[in-house]
Amino acid sequence: AFLPMSVSAQYSYDLQGHRGTRGLMPENTIPAMTKALDLGVTTLELDLAITKDGQVILSHEPFMNPLICLDSEGNHIASGDHSFNIYQLTYQEILAYDCGSKFHPGYPQQVKFFATKPLLEDVFAVAEKYASDMGLPQPRYNIEIKSSPDGDGIYHPEVPEFSDKVVKLIAEKLGWERVNIQSFDFRVLQYIHENHPEVPLAMLVENAATYQEDLKELGFVPDIFSPHFRNLNAEIIAFFHHKGMKVIPWTVNNTEEMNKLLDLGVDGIITDYPNLAPKR
Ligand code: G3P
Ligand code: CA
C-alpha cells in the first residue's frame, strides 16, 4: 500500500495551514490544500470571494492581486490596478487567470505552476477524497468571509447575501461538525449568529490587546478568538478560556514563536509553514 508522507494526529493542538500552505504552494489553491494535508494539519484555513455569476471561490483579495496573478494573456497586472474585480467577472473568465506561476518575493519557497482560483466546493471534494485516500483524518476547515463596508455591492454582495450563500453551500456539502466561519467583519459574525446559530464562529482581530472592547462591540460570545499573535498573552488567553472559547492566533511562521504561544496555552496556531510546526 502507498503510505502517506506523514500521518496526522501528531499534533496535540489545532494546526491550521494558512491559505493552505502559503509558504510552500501558491496560496488558496487546491495544491496548497493537499500539501497542507500531507504535512499533517488539522485544519485548512482559506479565504472566500464571490464571482459575478454567484460562485463561491477561494481568494484573499476580491480582485486579481497583481502580486500573485497573471492576466488571461500571461501578462503582469499593473500594481494598484483593481479593475480585475472578482465580483465583476464570471467564474469562466476567472479561470483564464494564472495565480500560481508568478514568483512571490515574500514566499520564495513556493513551488510554481499554473493554478487557478478554485471553487469552494471543489476544494471540499478534493480535500475530503485526498484525506480519505491517504488514510488521514478528515480535515477541519476555517473559512473566512472576506468583506468590508467599503466593498458592499462593489467587491462582494451585501452581508446577508454573502453570508447566506456561504452558509448554504457549506451546510449542503459538509455540515458544521468540522467547519467554522471566521471574519474580521463583525457584521458577518453578527448576521450569522442571529440567522444561523448552528454555525461555529471565530472573531478575527488585528490587535489582541483591545479584546475587551472588541468582544463588547461584537455583542455575543463566539467560539474562537483569533487575533494576530503579536500582543497575545496569558491573561488574554485565560479571559477567553474562562468564557469557554478557544484562542487561535495567526500567522505564526517560526517554530520558536509557535512554541512560545503553545506554552502560553493557545489552542491552535495558524501558519503559512505547517512544516515548521513543533511536534507536541
Ligand atoms: O485566519 C486568520 C488570518 O487568515 C487572517 O489574516 O489577512 O491572512 O486573511 P489574512
Ligand atoms: Ca484568512
pLDDT in tens, 184-216: 999 999 999 999 999 999 999 999 999 999 999
**Nearest alpha carbon, ligand 1 atom 3:** 250
Residue 24: strand, helix, or coil: coil
- Per the CB < 8 A criterion, the answer to whether 44 and 70 are in contact is no
Looking at residue 181, its pLDDT comes to 98
- Per the CB < 8 A criterion, the answer to whether 188 and 159 are in contact is yes
Looking at residue 6, its pLDDT comes to 47
Cell triple for 227: 487575533
Sketch the domain layout of the chain as residue ranges.
14-276
The Cα 192–Cα 189 span in angstroms is 5
CA of 184 to the centre of ligand 2 (A): 9
Q: Which of 21, 140, 143, 144 to mutate to test the pocket of ligand 1 (most atoms within 8 A of CB)?
A: 144
Please say whether the dihedral angle defined by the alpha carbons of residues 70, 72, 78 and 79, taken in this order, is positive or negative.
negative
Looking at residue 79, its pLDDT comes to 74
ipTM over 0.85: yes
Q: Which CATH superfamily is domain 14-276 in?
A: Phosphatidylinositol (PI) phosphodiesterase (3.20.20.190)
CA of 250 to the centre of ligand 1 (A): 7
Q: Which of 27, 58, 204 to mutate to test the pocket of ligand 1 (most atoms within 8 A of CB)?
A: 204
Angle at which helices 186-195 and 211-218 pack, to 10 degrees? 40
